[in-house]
Structure 1
Amino acid sequence: MLPRPAPAPHGPEVPTPAPAEGMLSANVRRGNHDTMHRHPWGLALLLFLPAPVLAAPDSPPMPTLLAPEARIAVENQILEERLGSLLPRLMAETDLDMWLVLSREYAEDPVYFTLVPQPSFAARRTTLLAFHRRADGTVERLAVNRYPLGGPYESAWAGGDLDEQWQALGQLIADRDPGRIGINVSRDWAIADGLSHALHQRLLAVLPDGHESRLVSAQDLVVRWTETRLASERTHHAAAMAAARAIIAEAFSNQVIEPGKTHTDDVAWYIRKRLESLGMPVWFHPDVNRQRAGDDCTRDSVFCGSTGIIERGDVLHTDIGGCYLKLCTDTQEMGYVLREGETEVPRSLRKALAAGNRWQDLLAANFVAGRSGDHILHATHAAVEKEGLAASTYTHPLGFFGHAAGPTIGMWDAQQGGTPGSEWALHPSTAYAIEGNVRSPVPEWDDTWVQVKLEQGGYFDGETLEFPAGRQTRWHVVR
C-alpha cells in the first residue's frame, strides 16, 4: 500500500456487470517467466459475482468465493488446525512454556481475533487465554472468561466476578508452574504489543510469588504465529488475490471508465463497492491515480501520479486491499487509456512494464530462507543497479493484516533499510506483497518519465517465490 491523498467525495454510480465464475492462477519461479495453470477451487456455496470484462490477457477470471454463512465453518476448521499443529511447534521453537493473551472488550489484543472461533466480534467483558505447553509437547488451550468460548478451548473458569476471574488465572499459572511465560509486549512489533498497562498490572497482582521474573516478551511467537500460512489457508488466500486482480480488470475497462467524464475517485469507489459486495472488507480506501505527458515525473521521483478526470493517453494506477477468511490482500496494477486512432499501448510503456516484471524477477531471485529483510533488499538493489533499472523496493508480509509482521524488505521512504522488521529472517510458508516501482522514460511524452507501480501477492515455500494468482505482465487497456 502506497501513501495516498485524502479521497474526494463519492462520484457517480458505476454499473455492475453480470455473474460468472472461475479462476486462473500462475506461478513464477525464481528468475523465470510466469506460467499459467487452472485450479479447481471446488467451494461449496457460491457468492454470485460479476463477469470479468475484456482486459489484460494475464488477468484471472473472478474466483468463486464462499457465501458469508459458509465461511464460519472453514475459518474454525483452519483455526483448529493452526492451534493443534502449528502452535505447539512454534511454542517449542520460541522456547515458551506458557503464552498469555489477555484482552478486554473494545481493547482487544491485535492477535486476539486470530485465536478465537467465529463468529466473534469482541472479547466479551474480559477474556483471558492461556496456552500451556506440556512435557509431551502438546499445548493445553484454556479460556478464563465470563462466556466460555467452546470449540478449541477448555473452560478453566466461568462466572461474573472480575476479581475471581483474575484469581482463577493466577491459580491456573500456579498449578502448571511454567518456566517461561510469554506476554504480548514489544518495543518494535505493534502486533506483539497488545497487553495494555492496566491488564499487565492485574496480571502482576495475581502471579504466584517469584513468577514475575519468568515473564518474557512473546514477540517472536506472535510474529511466527501471524506470518505462517498453512496449505489450507493458501488456497483461500490465493482466491482473495485473484478476486482483487479481477476487480482491477473490471475497473480499468470501458465498463467503468468513459474517457473525458470518469474521475479517478469514481473508479476508486467502484473498486471499494465491488470488494465489499463480495464480503471482502477493505483495510484501506482504494487509491486510483493517473500519469500523463507533461507531468513532472523523473528518474528520481519518489511517487508520480495525480487525481482528476481520466483522459485519453493517461496511464492509470490503482492500489487496493481487501480481506477474505481473515487473510488480507494488497495489489497494485497499471492501465492505459488509448488515444484516438491508437490500437495498442505505446512501445515505451510496454517496455516500462517489462522492466517492472524484471524487477520482480530480481527480487524473487533473492528470496532465500534465512536471509534477513535487509539482506534481500540490498541484494536486490545490487541486481537492479547492475541491469541499469531505476527501481525502488518496499515489500512487506501479508496475512491476518495487510501490513503484516515478518521481514520488512525496504520501505518507500527508507530504501537504505534498517527499519523495524528488516532484521527478521525469511521463513518458509509465508506470504508477501511484492511491492515496488520502476521508472522509465517515455519518448512519446517528450521524455517525461512514467512510474510503473506494481504489487502482487506472493508465497515463499522455502525454495521459490510464486504468485498464486498470477502477476500483471500486460497493460489493462481502456479503448
Structure 2
Amino acid sequence: MTATLQQVPLPLREQAAVRDGWLSRRVAELLPGFMDEAGIDLWVVVGREYHEDPVLPSLLPATWLSARRRTVLLLHRTATGVAPAAVARYPVGDFASVWHPADDDPAHTPEAAQWAAVRRTVDRARPTRIGIDVSATFAHADGLSHTDHEQLLAALGPWADRVVPAEALAVRWLETRLPEEIAALHGMNALVHRTVDEAFSRSVITPGTTTAADVAWWVRQRFHDLGVDPWFQPTVDVQRRGLPGPTEDAVVQRGDLLHCDVGLRTLGLTTDTQRNAYVLADGETAAPAGLVAAHAVGNRMQDLVTAAMQPGRTGDEVLAAARAGAAAEGIDGDVYSHPVGVHGHGAGPAIGMWDAQDGVPGAGSARLHADTTWALELCVRVPVPEWDGQVVRMALEQGVALTAEGVDYLDGRQTGLITVPG
C-alpha cells in the first residue's frame, strides 16, 4: 500500500477506495481515544449543502463531494468503540442510517422529522457530554452554523444542558495522520518537488522573456494536467541585485533569485511548499556564494525549529525556543509554521505567524502531538556580499511529519539552490 501511495496522483476510483479505507480505520482506531481525551461521548457534526462544517468532508465517503441538504452525523462512544450514525436523506458510507420515514410524525415537515430523528437517537444513546463544533480559536472547529445550532439545541430538549464545545476533539481528529497518510504525503511532496524542479528550468523559463506570473500559471496548469488541485494560486517572486524587495511583477532575468509558494490537494490531503532557485548570469556555473550561504542559513533556521518541535510543547514554546536559538547564532529571521493535512492551513498549534513573532494568542497555546504533519515555514534575512551587501529574504517552506521518533522531512528538504541555466 505504501509504495502505491507514493506514486500519486492515483486514478480517481483508486483514490476513493484509499480514502474510504482510511476513514474506516480512523473512526475505528483513532476516534475512540480522541473522544476519551476530550471527555465527549457523543459528537454531533452538522452541515448543509454549500455551507459545510470544515470537519464534515473528513467524515464523508469519497463519493460525497459535499453535504446533501442537511447532513447530520452522530458519533457515539460506546464501550467497544465508536458507533457512527447518519440522520440524512441518503445513506452515508459506513454511517448507519437512523432516520426511517416510517417513524416520522405525519404532521412534521421533513426538517422537523429530521430533528426528531436526532432526538430519538440521542435518547437511546443517553450521552453524558455532547460535543458540537463551536470554537473561538480554530475556524476548523467552529463549523456549526447559527441556525443549525439553534435548531439542534431545540431538538435536544433536556439533553441540551449536556452540550459542550468539541474544539479539542475536532482539532485532534483533523490534525492526526495514519502512517499510510504520512506515506501518501511523502509522495505528494515528491510530486510538488518534481513540479517545482521543472518550473525552475529552461523548459519553462527563458530569461528576458518569461515573467514570474508565467511560471506561477505554468505550475497551476501542470497541477491541473496531473489531475491534482491547487488549494491556492501558486506564486513566484523575484529578487534582484539593486531591486528593492521581492516582486511578483517582473520578467525573469539572468542573475535573479526566484522563489515560489505552491500547494496541491489530492486524496483529501494538502501540501504547502516554498523553494528557491537562481538563474545563472553570463559566465556563471554556480550561484554566488553569498546566496548559497543565505540558503544555508535558512536550513539552519529549519534545524532550530525542528529541534524544538517536541510533542507536549505548545506552539509558543517551540517558537520561543527556535527564536532564542536563532538570536544566539546571530540569525535574523521569522518563524510562521503551521499544521497541514486535511486543510492547507490546518487545525492545531500555530508556531508563530509572520505578524506575531512573540506568540500567537489562542492557537499558540495549543500543544503539539505525535503523528501530525506540518508546513515548516520560515524566512531569514541575510546580506549578500556579491550584491553589495543587499539583504536577501530567503523564505523556505517544507512538509514535515512529527512522530514519536522525531521530525521527518517529507521527500527530503531543499539544501541548495536550484540553478536555472542562463
1:79 CA drift (Å): 0.6
CA distance in 1, matches of 2:316, 2:154: 41
* Alignment correspondent of 1:101: 45
- Contact 1:174/1:208, CA 8 A, preserved across alignment: no
Q: Which structure dedicates a bigger proportion of its chain to helix?
A: 2
Give how far 1:89 is off: 1.1
More displaced 10-residue stretch of structure 1: 375-384 or 271-280: 271-280
Q: Distance in 1 between matches of 2:364 and 2:247?
A: 28
TM-score (normalised: structure 2): 0.95
1:43 aligns with 2:17: no
Evaluate the alpha carbon distance shift between residue 462 and residue 41 of structure 1 in structure 2; reply closer, same or farther with a 3 A threshold. Answer: closer
Matching of residue 188 in structure 1 with residue 137 in structure 2? yes
C-alpha separation in 1, matches of 2:284 and 2:100: 70
For residues 413-464 of structure 1, give each alpha carbon's deviation from its aligned partner in whole angstroms, at most 9, with x where no partner exists: 1111133310000100001000001111111111111111100000010241
Alignment match of 1:237 (pick from 161, 185, 210): 185
1:203 aligns with 2:152: yes
Task: Identify which of 101, 105, 115 aligns with 2:59.
Answer: 115
Task: Deviation per CA, 1:52-82: give whole Å up to 9, x if none.
Answer: xxxxxxxxxx944311221110110001000
SS at match of 1:258: coil
SS state at 1:72 partner: helix
Where does residue 424 of structure 1 map in the other structure? 366
Aligned-pair identity in percent equals: 43
Equivalent AA in structure 2 for residue 345 of structure 1:
A
**What is the CA–CA distance in structure 2 between the aligned matches of 1:178 and 1:155, rounded to whole Å?**
19
The question of whether the paired residues in 2 share the 8 Å contact of 1:291 and 1:306 is answered with: no
Map 1:251-266; keep pairs closer than 5 Å. Answer: 251-266=199-214
Report 1 or 2 for greater relative contact order, CA contacts < 8 Å, sequence distance ≥ 6.
1
Amino acid aligned to 1:43: T
Number of corresponding residues: 414
Secondary structure of 1:91's counterpart equals helix
Cα distance in 2 between the residues matched to 1:420 and 1:251: 38
Name the counterpart of 1:138.
Answer: 81
Residues in 2 aligned to 1:260 and 1:410: alpha-carbon distance in whole angstroms: 38
What is the aligned partner in structure 1 of residue 104 from structure 2?
A: none
Give CA-to-partner distance per residue, 1:359-386, whole Å, 9 cap, x none: 1111111111110000000000010011
Q: Distance in 1 between matches of 2:387 and 2:84?
A: 62
Given the alignment of the two structures, is residue 357 of structure 1 paired with residue 281 of structure 2, yes or no? Answer: no
Match of 1:309 among 242, 246, 251: 251
Corresponding residue of 1:174: 123
- Structure 2 counterparts to residues 282-301 of structure 1, below 5 A: 282-297=230-245
Aligned partners of 1:427 and 1:368: how far apart in 2?
8
TM-score (norm 1): 0.84
Structure 1 contact 41–64 (Cα < 8 Å) conserved: no
* Aligned partners of 2:353 and 2:360 also within 8 Å: no
Give the aligned residue type for 2:270: C
1:264-283 → structure 2 map (5 Å cutoff): 264-283=212-231
**How much does 1:137 deviate?**
4.2
Q: CA deviation at 1:41?
A: 5.1
Cα RMSD after superposing both structures: 1.5
- 2:387 equivalent in structure 1: 445
SS in 1 for 2:363: coil
Mark the runs of 5 or more structure 1 residues left unpaired by the alignment. 1-39, 45-61, 298-303
Name the stretch that deviates more: 262-271 or 462-471: 462-471
Contact 2:259 2:277 survives alignment (8 Å): yes
Q: Show the counterpart of 1:79.
A: 23
Query: For the Cα contact (< 8 Å) 2:315–2:363, is it kept in 1?
Result: yes
- Which residue of 3, 13, 30 maps to 1:69? 13
Counterpart residue type for residue 202 of structure 1:
Q
2:81 alignment partner AA: T
**1:354 and 1:323 mapped to 2: Cα distance?**
29
Do the aligned partners of residues 64 and 139 (structure 1) sit closer, same or farther apart at CA in structure 2, a change above 3 Å counting?
Answer: closer
Q: Per-residue displacement from partner, 1:307-358 (whole Å, max 9, x unpaired)?
A: 2100000000000011120110000000000001111111111111111111
